[in-house]
Amino acid sequence: MNVSTTDPIHLFEEAARRWPLRPALRLDGRTITYAELDGWGNAIAHRIISKGYGGARIALMAEKKAGSYATILGILKAGSSYVPLPPDGPADRWSTMIAKAGVRAMVGGRSVDDLDLIDPSAEGNTILPGPPAYEEAYVLFTSGSTGGPKGVSVSRSNVAAYLRHQLAVNEFNETDRFSQFFALTFDLSVHDLFVCWSVGACLCVPTGDQVMRAVAFAQEEGITVWFSVPSLLVLQQRMRALGADVLPKVRKAFFCGEAFTWPVARAFAAAAPHAQLVNLYGPTETTIAITGYVIDRGAMAQEGVVPIGRPFEQAGARMVDEELELSGPQLAAGYVDDPSATARAFRSEQGARWYRTGDRVWMDDEYVLHYLGRLDDQVKIMGHRIEPAEVDAALVPVLGGQHAITLPRVEAGTIRLYTFVQGEVDQPRLMNELRRALPSYMLPEKIIGVDRMPVTAHGKLDRKALLDRLDHG
């Protein structure tokens, strides 16, 4: 296998060779060593290959079970790529993702031992032509304003480029204990798994409501490397869990997926007095994160949003009419089964590929990037990219011509969605329809019926007037 030395599986297998008896995974009170996890992954890989699925895209139910982590390793060891499906569904979305990605096998994940390969098609072991073995690592789906979710194809070399940077600029070691707060359908989870396993450290996985009790979980598990979306810290503040010196063992703390405000950064700095805080930025299309900003503890008396920093060493960044465009070895191949969307988002110039992020930024005199917001309507909730128009599109089949518009609103530091429908609404029925079409994090707080959609003096939809109705009726 011709891969770089920072290929994720190469690094995991080297760690398993060097530290076979060290803990690799801690989950549900169970500790699994590197030797055990490596052997489990090998068994799954052999099964995949023996059934003729080496090099294919393979879906798995991305539950936080030990079998899911072993399955990801097994899929990659087999030269295949994984397509994680959100455990909470809905089933219609699973079907869309499986069809768009050209999945030809699925690994059952409803229990730790349920690892039989199930072909979701009626074509036996037929594998559609696709990326060559060992190239693609995973396909992750993000929200799309039209046509449902979009699948981003990320290669092993993309992941290897990310790992090269993180391992070069950070001093991680085999005694570290990494948090794993992100869902396996979220690309930031790839950082958790493979940065951790690259150095022989232990990945500590919260299950059930332990994510909501993130600070307590970190204390119980002795977390030394924290990684989360900023809104998880806001939740901990509301629960009065983010007090001073409550996380003395944390020495590295990474944040990504949302705008990170200075007040929240100060709160975490006080909670983890020995931690270096790093704000990361990067869409799924640029593989996990591609810019970073190390926070100076001596210069935290600021307001507003923490900068997103400078691009990684091998990456490029430029502004085109305020929009941030990115290039480098971390850029994904594009969107599966969607060449028009790929052409809109990626462009080639003079031998370089650039990704149009849709994010507005500005650069200061020290070449540090600052995030200003979106050029479109996309929002992030707990780090998940959401196109509100996808919520509207899911209602079209059941509205019978009624107009719907979904709008975001910031409440107590958290973004919430509200859907407005012209005419009378049967809210329970419409919410049930949305639950069948969308994952839970995309559901609006409420569906509200209005007599007519308000417009501005220029004839455009008056979004502010709609949101004002939430306060004034």
Q: Which residue shows structure tokens 């990037």?
A: 369
Q: Residue 121: its pLDDT value, please?
A: 36
Q: Residue 398: its pLDDT value, please?
A: 80
One domain, residues 64 and 197: yes
Asked, for residue 250, whether it belongs to a domain, the answer is yes
Whole-number percent of the chain with pLDDT over 70: 90
One domain, residues 300 and 396: no
Asked, for residue 27, whether it belongs to a domain, the answer is yes
Query: Does the pLDDT value for residue 139 go beyond 90?
Result: yes
Strand, coil or helix: 295: coil
Query: Does the pLDDT value for residue 366 go beyond 80?
Result: yes
Asked, for residue 404, whether it belongs to a domain, the answer is yes
One domain, residues 283 and 420: no
Asked, for residue 449, whether it belongs to a domain, the answer is yes
Query: Does the pLDDT value for residue 115 go beyond 80?
Result: no
Please tell me which residue, 51 or 23, carries the higher pLDDT value.
23
One domain, residues 414 and 281: no
Whole-number percent of the chain with pLDDT over 90: 58
One domain, residues 398 and 307: no
Least confident of 8-22, 167-181, 231-245: 231-245
Asked, for residue 251, whether it belongs to a domain, the answer is yes
Q: Residue 75: its pLDDT value, please?
A: 95
One domain, residues 415 and 301: no
Of 297, 327, 357, the last residue of a domain is 327
Each residue of 172-217: pLDDT tens digit?
999 999 999 999 999 999 999 999 999 999 999 999 889 999 999 9
Asked, for residue 371, whether it belongs to a domain, the answer is no
Between CA 379 and CA 411 the distance in angstroms is: 14
Element spanning 408, H or E: strand 404-411
One domain, residues 211 and 310: yes
**Domain CATH code at residue 221:** 3.40.50.12780
> Is the separation of the CB atoms in 100 and 337 below 8 Å?
yes
> Is the separation of the CB atoms in 262 and 302 below 8 Å?
yes
| Radius of gyration of the chain measured on its C-alpha atoms | 22
Of 327, 356, 378, the last residue of a domain is 327
Of 327, 352, 372, the last residue of a domain is 327
**Domain CATH code at residue 394:** 3.30.300.30
One domain, residues 159 and 30: yes
Asked, for residue 150, whether it belongs to a domain, the answer is yes
Between CA 356 and CA 344 the distance in angstroms is: 8
One domain, residues 42 and 132: yes
Q: Residue 122: its pLDDT value, please?
A: 28
Domain tally for the chain? 2
Question: Residues 383, 93, 289, CA angle at the centre, nearest 5°?
Answer: 25
One domain, residues 157 and 298: yes
Q: Residue 120: its pLDDT value, please?
A: 38
Asked, for residue 363, whether it belongs to a domain, the answer is no
Q: Which domain holds residue 440?
A: 387-472
One domain, residues 171 and 320: yes
Query: Does the pLDDT value for residue 1 go beyond 90?
Result: no
Between CA 303 and CA 262 the distance in angstroms is: 5
Question: Residues 200, 81, 18, CA angle at the centre, nearest 5°?
Answer: 20
One domain, residues 321 and 391: no
